[in-house]
Structure 1
């Protein structure tokens, strides 16, 4: 069956293309991109007034499987991604057991093919059990299809371990994704250290903890010549460190989350555990630095750090609640509301940072529209106004700091390998 996407604004940053046109799909692939394509044997999707973009790539997702399925699993997580307009996700290894060997990498990939509705790429652990003591089977995992290596959820305290890991990943031209927070400074902290934490009497996590860790990671990347990627960057100092490192040609990239672009630590004032994340939501000067860094290319990508928890885990006193919340189904709305409708970014700039750029960092075939390529496509209504209602989420994690918020901009269709997976908010698989 052929599918013709008709009359949409095609934004394809990897090809520097932005024009009104049509896309014809057959047998999982794009067979023609052009203007005024007319065929008689195709189903037509009218896209006038909509943005037709390469399938969005979220390079930082916690699917929780294996072992933590009460929070999320591959079936629910990939459907949440589809509902949010995301066609490819990369899952982090902090599961039970930790994804720290080739068998688990291959097993997750195989299960994702059976249970998932979007593409799932696997990130392997840097250390065995993510204990930070002994290197995991990095080479075997990369040869088995892992797209990156990370101990995300934990800062790698041992510089020696990280240096050795970078030497291994450098052989494969793959990145280590770093959760950069000096543990000695953030231990027992629950939010950004600043005026709000002082007012609330909550022990804080100082921004300098991130700056110190990022500085060390950059120096090790420079020394080894390998690639380091800073996950969920959140501090003004860290942004400047990455900016300087890039100017010196060091192989460093960075991502920022929608929540760190849109929110500040002031949302914690009512002790809402849904707003508890690591690194924490920071004060407005940090938020503004993140937006500036994303604009000038210091920060390469937007990624959700989708980290769902069971309701009873988050429904606790703030300091006892775990960090993280579900972000896949709100990411496009939050980003468009904050950056596009806020007059800060163009649509092509946003599409690049949510499709082509994360695909490039991971080294995967995604994030670009082209004849002969897989038809992974995200279709967006940038002006659609909607209210966040977690009861309608496909993810198992129902808590979000955006609950009840009015957002502007939403994915209205998600196409994976030429097949309509989501349309008008309903996942069809």
Structure 2
């Protein structure tokens, strides 16, 4: 089948292109890219007035499979991704059992081929069982198709283990993704340590816990000559440390989430467990530093850290609720509303940080619209106003701090391998 995307505003950062163009798709590939392409024999999608981008990529997603399918599985998670405009997602290994062997990586990839609606990439664990004592089967997992290594959800306290991992991965050209927060400092805290935590009487997690962990991981990456990617950066100290490291030529990249860019610890005042996340929502000065770091390239990518939980797990006292919430279906809308429509970022900057840059960090053959490449494309209506309604989510973890908010900007079509799998909010195979 031939599909012609007609007269959309194509934003294609890798090709340095931003203009009105047509895209012809055939047999899952982009075959032509230009103006006034012939439409003979093609199904036409009128993209006039819409923004056409390389498929969005979320490099930090928790699919919860294997072992925690009550929270999410490959099917529900990839439907949520399609609804949010994402054509590729990378899933984290903190499952039960942990993704720490080649057989589990292979099994997940096979599941994704059968049940997944979008491209699923697998991130393997750094340590066996994510226990931080012994390196997992890193080489075997990478050969089986893992795209990166991480003990996400856990801080790697053992500096020697992390150093060994960084040194080992230099020959593979793949990064270690670091969950950087020193647990000896964060302890049993449930939110950002500051004036709001003191007022609410909730134990806090100080930002210095993140700063110290980031500093250590950067130094180890420098010593090993390896690549480290700092996940879900939330503190102004971490932003400055990453900025300085990049200036020194250290192989460090970083991501930031939509919620850390747009919400503060004031949101916790409602005691809504949807606001409990790790690292925590921080004060306004940290949010401003994150925005500045994303703007100047210190922070490379925007990732959702989609972390769904079963309703009964979050429906409890704040300090006992697990951290995390669903993010795939709100990420783009939150970013467009708060970054683009406020004039802080251009559409080009947002597309780059949500598509081409994640592709570069994970060394994926994605994030670009080019003849001969896979036709993974997201079509966006940047001015569409909508209200977040978690009851209509495709994810199983329907708790979100954005529930009921009015947003402006939404993906209205998701195309994976030339096939339209989401249109106007409806996901279909």
Q: Which of the five TM-score ranges fits, normalised by the shorter chain?
A: over 0.9
2:413 equivalent in structure 1:
413
Residues 217-276 of structure 1, C-alpha deviations (whole Å, 9 max, x = no match)? 000000000000000000000000000000000000000000000100000001010010
Regions of 4+ moved over 6 Å: none
1:9 equivalent in structure 2:
9
Question: How many angstroms does 1:404 deviate by?
Answer: 0.1
Question: How many angstroms does 1:424 deviate by?
Answer: 0.2
Question: Equivalent residues in 2 for 1:206-217 (5 A)?
Answer: 206-217=206-217
1:192 equivalent in structure 2:
192
Residues 169-198 of structure 1, C-alpha deviations (whole Å, 9 max, x = no match)? 111010000000001011100000001000
| Separation in 1, partners of 2:282, 2:366 | 32
| Separation in 2, partners of 1:49, 1:200 | 47
1:218 equivalent in structure 2:
218
CA RMSD across the alignment: 0.4
Gaps of 5+ in 2: none
1:84 equivalent in structure 2:
84
For the pair 1:360 / 2:360, whether they are aligned, the reply is yes
1:280 equivalent in structure 2:
280
Question: Equivalent residues in 2 for 1:90-239 (5 A)?
Answer: 90-239=90-239
| Separation in 2, partners of 1:313, 1:234 | 24
Question: How many angstroms does 1:81 deviate by?
Answer: 0.1
For the pair 1:327 / 2:327, whether they are aligned, the reply is yes
| Separation in 2, partners of 1:91, 1:72 | 12
Aligned length, in residue pairs? 429
1:295 equivalent in structure 2:
295
2:20 equivalent in structure 1:
20
Question: How many angstroms does 1:126 deviate by?
Answer: 0.3
1:262 equivalent in structure 2:
262
Question: Equivalent residues in 2 for 1:23-34 (5 A)?
Answer: 23-34=23-34
Question: How many angstroms does 1:378 deviate by?
Answer: 0.4
Question: How many angstroms does 1:38 deviate by?
Answer: 2.0
1:173 aligned counterpart, secondary structure: coil
Residues 95-138 of structure 1, C-alpha deviations (whole Å, 9 max, x = no match)? 00000001101110011000000000000000000011111001
| Separation in 2, partners of 1:48, 1:240 | 42
2:357 aligned counterpart, secondary structure: helix
Gaps of 5+ in 1: none
| Separation in 2, partners of 1:52, 1:163 | 42
| Separation in 2, partners of 1:150, 1:80 | 23
1:69 equivalent in structure 2:
69
| Separation in 1, partners of 2:248, 2:300 | 16
| Separation in 2, partners of 1:39, 1:142 | 42
| Separation in 1, partners of 2:424, 2:108 | 29
| Separation in 1, partners of 2:362, 2:416 | 19
1:374 equivalent in structure 2:
374
1:5 aligned counterpart, secondary structure: strand
| Separation in 2, partners of 1:24, 1:90 | 27
| Separation in 2, partners of 1:428, 1:146 | 27
Question: How many angstroms does 1:366 deviate by?
Answer: 0.7
TM-score (norm 1): 1.00
